[in-house]
Amino acid sequence: MSIILGEKTTDNVFGAVWLAALILTYEKKVIQKSDTIFFDQVDIQKLAKLLCTKTVQSARISQWCNGDHPNSSYNYLRANGSKRRLTQIGEFNNSKEYPDHLLKAEDEIFEIKENGKKVKYGELFEWYCSIYSKVTNLPVSNDPDSTLEDLGDQDDISMEGLQEDEIKNILANYLNNHGWQTQIAMGKIHGIDIDAFKGKDRWIIEVKGCGSRNAMRVNYFLAILGETLQRMSDKNAKYSIALPDMQQYRNLWDRLPRLTALFVNKDKQIEELT
């Protein structure tokens, strides 16, 4: 490498993966003047291990931080075959594209060997926001294993529906007009998207926006189901998901199967629940 890492580390495994991808991208684009933006997963993992005080497993790069994977938790990376690149701001509707408050702006991340310049986190993050995220026409996924486009319409569709915050505002007005008191998590605020109360009634609503590609909408749809399931701790509450009125989302909703669960124990006994 053309840099010397500083001593600053984090205990945020996912944040370390994002930071590793950012450092590799900065090194290639700024220091080495290279057009390379996709990296082997093992290289991201190796660097993330040096940045993190916890174990960084390969699945963090292949799946959990890969926004093109249907079961991802964060949208920090994009896939192109087996390689990964850093997500630009806005590629996933500003949803979980980078970690908030990962490090302090004055933290020194690395030193450039050639000139001894020390690059701080604030400078690195500013480059990510103002330079890297403004680059146009970066390649996106062509990994057949990273998406589930066959669950929706096959042709890519531009952003023709409502954004997430637009839906939240529409729903908030609707609920308020019908006597509900609402708590709304706008933008990057964590928590329940819409938590509504009326008397003893409670209505919890998770929201996703239109996205810009079919694969992204599939990811959104799978994610909102998982997020809602994790929220379902209040047995007396009503739970809903809210999506733009787009045909692909309607198709995905129509394909939700009627499932039963088979619980299998070590004694080879099987119990089916409906």
Sequence ranges of the domains in the chain: 3-145, 164-264
Dihedral angle of Cα 215, 218, 224, 227, to the nearest 10 degrees: -70
The strand pairing partners of 23, in sequence order, are none
Predicted pLDDT of residue 135:
86
Return contacts of 37-41, CB within 8 angstroms, 24+ apart.
37/85, 37/86, 37/138, 37/139, 38/80, 38/83, 38/84, 38/85, 38/139, 39/83, 39/84, 39/85, 40/82, 40/83, 41/82, 41/83, 41/84
What number is the average pLDDT over the span 67-90? 90
The answer, yes or no, to whether residue 218 has pLDDT greater than 90, is no
In whole angstroms, how far apart are CA 248 and each of 141, 152, 208? 19, 5, 13
Question: Which string of b and e fits 67-80 if b means at least 16 CB within 10 Å?
Answer: bbbbebbbbbbbbb
pLDDT bin (cut points 50, 70, 90) of residue 140 is: low
| Spatial CB neighbours of 133, under 8 Å, sequence gap ≥ 6 | 88, 89, 90
Three-state DSSP at 106 gives coil
What number is the average pLDDT over the span 155-182? 80
The answer, yes or no, to whether residue 254 has pLDDT greater than 90, is no
Predicted pLDDT of residue 130:
93
Q: What radius of gyration do the chain's Cα atoms show?
A: 21
Three-state DSSP at 84 gives strand
The answer, yes or no, to whether residue 3 has pLDDT greater than 90, is yes
The answer, yes or no, to whether residue 220 has pLDDT greater than 70, is yes
Predicted pLDDT of residue 71:
79
What number is the average pLDDT over the span 96-117? 94
The mean-pLDDT minimum among 38-42, 137-141, 160-164, 194-198 falls in: 137-141
Name which residue leads in pLDDT, 84 or 216: 84
- Helix (H), strand (E) at residue 174: helix 164-177
Please state the φ and ψ torsions of residue 240, each to the nearest 5 degrees. -145, 160
pLDDT bin (cut points 50, 70, 90) of residue 145 is: very low
The answer, yes or no, to whether residue 57 has pLDDT greater than 70, is yes
The answer, yes or no, to whether residue 50 has pLDDT greater than 70, is yes
Dihedral angle of Cα 248, 249, 251, 256, to the nearest 10 degrees: 150
Predicted pLDDT of residue 152:
37
Predicted pLDDT of residue 160:
55
pLDDT bin (cut points 50, 70, 90) of residue 253 is: confident
CATH topology of domain 164-264: Trna Endonuclease; Chain: A, domain 1 (3.40.1350)
The answer, yes or no, to whether residue 148 has pLDDT greater than 50, is no
What mean pLDDT value characterizes the chain? 86
The answer, yes or no, to whether residue 69 has pLDDT greater than 50, is yes
Predicted pLDDT of residue 144:
35
**Inter-residue contact 214 to 129 (CB < 8 Å):** no
- Helix (H), strand (E) at residue 17: helix 13-26
Q: Beta strand 77-80 with 83-86: parallel, antiparallel or unpaired?
A: antiparallel
pLDDT bin (cut points 50, 70, 90) of residue 156 is: very low
Task: Report the distance separating Cα 183 and Cα 194, nearest Å.
Answer: 6
- Helix (H), strand (E) at residue 197: strand 194-198
What number is the average pLDDT over the span 257-261? 75
